[in-house]
Amino acid sequence: MRLFDTARGEVVAFTPPPTVTMYCCGITPYDSAHLGHAAVYLTFDVLQRRLRDLGHETRCVRNVTDVDDDILNKARELGVYYLDLAAEEMARFDADMSALGLLPVHAEPRATSAIPEILSLIDAALRTGHAYQSGGSVYFDVSSFPFFGRLSRLERPEMLRLAAEHGGRPDDPNKRDPLDFVLWQPSLPDEPSWESRWGPGRPGWHIECSALARRELGDTIDVHGGGRDLVFPHHECEVAQCEAVTGQPFVRHWVHVGLVELDGTKMSKSLGNLVFVGDLLKEFEPMAVRLALLGHHYRRDWEWHRADAEAATARLERWRAAPRGPGPAALAAVRERLDDDLDTPGALADLDRLAAAGQPVHEGAALLGVAL
Ligand SMILES: [Zn+2]
């Protein structure tokens, strides 16, 4: 199997062990899942399906960021307890993902479940000289980790721009270097707070994924990823804090998924141009939405058009009209396409061709998670 690896910047041979450990960065449950989320989790789903088809066991962990600025701000705005908001949105998210036919994840741990692991990781970073206390917070010292930037391969000005865009506060006067990032921070009076040796507070954003990945899957994981907008700062910071403390490689293979756009702009909460999965599921059958997403290669950015779901509905009808029965040609075609950097658009084209020739396609569709 060949798969693009972000760290190496090219499609490389992917040689998975018998049990493949995977960690996919999950949601902050303060709003409904949009198509960008669905595209990410569907990619990890299709990868798992092919690995299982090849006889591997997969353990895919997807965290839930149930404490951060976004969820605390939204809970404040709505006047509700932040964990009640999280519970409601997580239930909605799980229902949407299961409607799309996603395999259940191995574990879906919450950031608030990992406070002891987070505290011990921060403690280890301080003891080994990779972190420092300042102004009531604990920061990771990027100058202590010579490989900072190896994953994203960005120049410093671009790193600073992205850090600022993602809430990294490069102008925080307590930092030694504007790229240093928060591991532990004091909570505001109305925010949740946990006791620590550095004073009461709450974790920074990046530390939860390192702590949860190590707790659930060990020091080195086979596949890690998420949306491409997480490469920097989130994943770069995860690598730094993990490898600085453990001395082990954190991730063998990085998988990042392209962004979904609407009217030429990235779909994002802050821009308010979201297409929610739940809304689409009211209008189209779940397998049509799944097929519409599979029609785009996971690595490329693409623009959502309503016509995609209509075309996918028509495609489903054509495939359903194909004869039932064993379909070795369809299965072989889909396997070959998936082994070529998860080429789902190619797989759909092959199945179209076979269906048009009156051959069975349902086994090939099933490997893509599309139930006919
Ligand atoms: Zn993460």
| Distance (Å) from CA 326 to ligand 1 centroid | 41
pLDDT of residue 176: 97
CB of 250 within 8 A of CB of 239? yes
pLDDT of residue 135: 94
pLDDT of residue 270: 73
At 320-369, the pLDDT tens digits run 999 998 889 999 999 999 999 999 999 999 999 999 999 999 999 999 99
| Distance (Å) from CA 207 to ligand 1 centroid | 8
pLDDT of residue 167: 86
Q: Which CATH class is domain 17-262?
A: alpha beta
| Distance (Å) from CA 227 to ligand 1 centroid | 10
The tokens for 155 are: 């120049």
**Which CATH number among 1.10.357, 1.10.3470, 1.10.10, 1.20.120 corresponds to the domain 284-367?**
1.20.120
pLDDT of residue 74: 95
| Distance (Å) from CA 62 to ligand 1 centroid | 9
What residue ranges do the domains of the chain occupy? 17-262, 284-367
Q: Among 309, 324, 312, 313, which Cα is nearest to 355's?
A: 324
322 Cβ contact list (under 8 Å, min separation 6) = 354, 355, 358, 359, 360, 361, 362
| Distance (Å) from CA 355 to ligand 1 centroid | 40
pLDDT of residue 162: 96
Output the pTM of the full model.
0.96
CB of 327 within 8 A of CB of 365? no
| Distance (Å) from CA 210 to ligand 1 centroid | 8
pLDDT of residue 271: 77
At 145-161, the pLDDT tens digits run 999 999 999 999 999 99
Collect the ranges in the chain with pLDDT lower than 70: none
| Distance (Å) from CA 280 to ligand 1 centroid | 26
| Distance (Å) from CA 226 to ligand 1 centroid | 8
| Distance (Å) from CA 315 to ligand 1 centroid | 35
pLDDT of residue 358: 96
